Amino acid sequence: MFCVFGNLAFAATDADMPGFKSSLLGKPTDWSGSAAGLFAAKYDYPDHIIDMAQQPWLTLDPRDPRQRGEYYNAIISYGLSAYTKDIFGSCPTVAPGWYHAPWLTLSGGNTEADIQQGRIGAGREPICGLTAERSAPVGSLHVNQRTRVQNWAVGIFNAPGGYLLGRIWRNRAGIDLSERVFPEGTFIIKFLLTEADTAAVPYLTGAPTWEANIYAADRAAARKTKPLRLLQIDFAVKDKRMANETGWVFGSFLYYNPSPAINGTWRDHLVPIGLMWGNDPGNVAPGTYKQQALTAEVAQLRSAGKLFDPKVRQEFGWHDRVNGPVDNPDSSCLSCHGTAQVHSQLVIKQFITPSLKPGFMNDQAKMLWFRNIKSGNTFAFSPDELNWIDQGSANTLRADWTPTLMKDFLSTDFSLQIRMAIENARLWEVQKAAFTLQRLTSLFSHKEAAGDLSSVVRDLGRESRRIESIGTQN
Distance between CA 174 and CA 289 in Å, rounded?
A: 43
For residues 315 and 294, the answer to whether their CB atoms sit within 8 Å is no
Distance between CA 474 and CA 417 in Å, rounded?
A: 16
Using CA atoms, how far residue 63 sits from 154, 274, 332, in Å, is 28, 11, 18
Distance between CA 308 and CA 6 in Å, rounded?
A: 46
Distance between CA 403 and CA 380 in Å, rounded?
A: 9
For residues 79 and 401, the answer to whether their CB atoms sit within 8 Å is no
Distance between CA 423 and CA 101 in Å, rounded?
A: 13
What is the pLDDT at residue 12?
Answer: 44
Residues in the chain, pLDDT under 70 = 1-16, 394-397, 434-474
For residues 41 and 61, the answer to whether their CB atoms sit within 8 Å is no
Beta bridge partners of 409: 343
Distance between CA 448 and CA 272 in Å, rounded?
A: 60
Amino acid symbol at 455 = S
Cβ-based neighbours of 444, under 8 Å, separated by 6 or more: none
What is the pLDDT at residue 462?
Answer: 55
Torsion from C-alpha of 238, 242, 248, 254, nearest 10 degrees: -110
Cβ-based neighbours of 341, under 8 Å, separated by 6 or more: 350, 378, 379, 409, 410, 411, 412, 419
Task: Kindly report the backbone phi and psi dihedral angles of residue 83, in degrees, each rounded to the nearest multiple of 5, phi listed first.
Answer: -110, 155
Per this entry, what is the length of the chain?
474
What is the pLDDT at residue 222?
Answer: 95
Helix (H, G, I), strand (E, B) or coil at 348: coil
For residues 381 and 401, the answer to whether their CB atoms sit within 8 Å is yes
- Of 162, 318, 181, 343, whose CA–CA distance to 246 is shortest? 181
Longest dimension (CA), the chain: 75
Structure letter (DSSP) for residue 145: -
Distance between CA 405 and CA 383 in Å, rounded?
A: 12
For the chain, count helices (H), then strands (E): 11, 12
What is the pLDDT at residue 430?
Answer: 82
Which spans in 81-134 are helix H?
112-116
Using CA atoms, how far residue 339 sits from 162, 279, 353, in Å, is 21, 13, 9
What pLDDT digit, counting tens, does each position of 340-391 carry? 999 999 988 899 999 999 999 999 999 999 999 999 999 999 999 999 999 9
For residues 375 and 360, the answer to whether their CB atoms sit within 8 Å is no
Q: Full-prediction pTM beyond 0.95? A: no
